[in-house]
Structure 1
Amino acid sequence: MSRLLFVTGTGTEVGKTAVTAALAALAVRSGRSVAVLKPGQTGMAPGEAGDAQEVARLAGPAVTLRELARYPEPLAPDRAALRSGLPFLTLDQVLDCVTGLTAGHDLTLVEGAGGLLVRYDRDGLTLADMARALDADVLTVVNAGLGTLNSTALNAEALRARGLRSAGIVIGSWPAEPDLAMRCNLADLPLDAGAPLLGALPAGVTADPSGFADRAAAALAPALGGHWDADEFARTWAA
């Protein structure tokens, strides 16, 4: 895993925070210093625990947390900023924060809001712009079920169009009883992503922080610090 990794998703509620926490937990367990940045948090009032705090709950207090902008309504960051009257997040804020975090940590994870092209301001600042400015790899969290192939392919096309490197994809929530589409998607998702499938977090993995690092290791591939085997997983759930 590189020293700087952006975590995005093919949409909201796909498991980005769970995957970010899993990456952080495994890095901490291996002895690495870890920082997590949430550039823009929406849908949270001041003082409420946001996504960064959820990462710390699961990965432990050793993780350095940063959040640059927070808006109370659960909307895209640019619209949430407009409605709240609070200032937009700026690219310079992100660059300055990430530069400081990477200088002092072995691994810095940047978790986006929504997907790769969600706007953070009225000029169209996106997570893709942030990753490109920092020459960072991008890990995409995807859904398991029907419809995920199209959204995964569109995300991959957006990455390629912007000259961004894909670190791979991870299924954010794998159910105990996957349906036919989910099982078939294990073979098809890497084709549409143009990148390897590097893990599948079991549904409910974040319910209990005790033993979270062990569950993360079993659900993520060696490239991400775990021991999950994509071929073995595909054989287990062969359609």
Structure 2
Amino acid sequence: MAIVVVSGTGTEIGKTVVTAAVAATSMAAGLSVAVLKPAQTGVGAGEPGDAAEVARLAGDAVTAVELARYPEPLAPATAARRSGLPAVRPADIAEAAAKLSAVHDVVLVEGAGGLLVRFDEEGATLADAARLLHAGVLLVAPAGLGTLNSVALTAEALAARDLSCLGLVIGSWPEAPDLAARCNLADLPGVADAPLLGAIPAGAGSLEPPLFRAAVGEWLAPQLGGTWNAAAFAERWAPAP
């Protein structure tokens, strides 16, 4: 797991918290971790971005790198064009990730929005960077109604590009999940053609960092350094027939 691309089925679904969780379990296992945010949008100069948030939650030992920052909360290609700043290209992402991988055990590349959000005017996406890196993709999805379709579409896009989906993590599991969320636990692995590797409790990103780090192993499966069990979790929340 030298380089992992963390992508989502959309925006505001918990990618940054999932990235922080994987970073925290990796460091707890004694591994050095870098997080790379190719394009940070919607954040002004001097404000902490997603990479800084990962380091805050997971620990200062995380190497946090941002390649570009655009002030407007838009897709990276659009934000770059409107700001007059250079766009980030897949080769830039691949080069930066490779350099970080040379001196870190784990490099987590956190995307912006979904897998096919455009980074430049030529239509390059996070998927193109993943192909250059020969990296697996960890997919983050919401829990509830509509997620099966978005996960299926993302899984098809990955397969069409010969990219490996390492697994799926639910970015925000509600305290009182509705019927759709509970049923999705059984359906998501088949739709993604990949294992369910965790479920992050809603509001986890608001925890104080020491509490976050102490609890994070309970949210992720052993493949990601935790103790979470997908079968037991699904059985716990299984709806009545």
83-92 vs 60-69, which moves further: 83-92
Identity of aligned residues (%): 62
Q: How does 1:158-169 map to 2 (within 5 A)?
A: 158-169=157-168
Give the Cα–Cα distance (whole angstroms) in 1 for the partners of residues 218 and 53 of structure 2: 20
The answer for the alignment partner of 1:204 in structure 2 is 203
The answer for the alignment partner of 1:227 in structure 2 is 227
Give the Cα–Cα distance (whole angstroms) in 1 for the partners of residues 220 and 54 of structure 2: 16
Which SS does the other structure have where 2:199 is aligned? strand
Q: How does 1:6-45 map to 2 (within 5 A)?
A: 6-45=5-44
* Cα shift at 1:214: 2.5
**CA distances 1:155-199 after superposition (whole Å, capped 9, x unpaired):** 000000000001000000001100000000000011110101000
The answer for the alignment partner of 2:178 in structure 1 is 179
Note the residue ranges of structure 2 that are not aligned, 5 or more in a row. none
CA contact (8 A) 1:171 1:200 kept: yes
Normalised to the residue count of structure 1, the TM-score between the two structures is 0.98
The answer for the alignment partner of 1:214 in structure 2 is 214
Letter in 1 for 2:34: A
The answer for the alignment partner of 1:90 in structure 2 is 89
Letter in 2 for 1:236: R
Which SS does the other structure have where 1:151 is aligned? helix
197-206 vs 211-220, which moves further: 211-220
* Cα shift at 1:6: 0.4
RMSD, aligned α-carbons: 0.7
The answer for the alignment partner of 1:70 in structure 2 is 69
Equivalences, count: 238
Letter in 2 for 1:191: G
* Cα shift at 1:154: 0.2
Note the residue ranges of structure 1 that are not aligned, 5 or more in a row. none
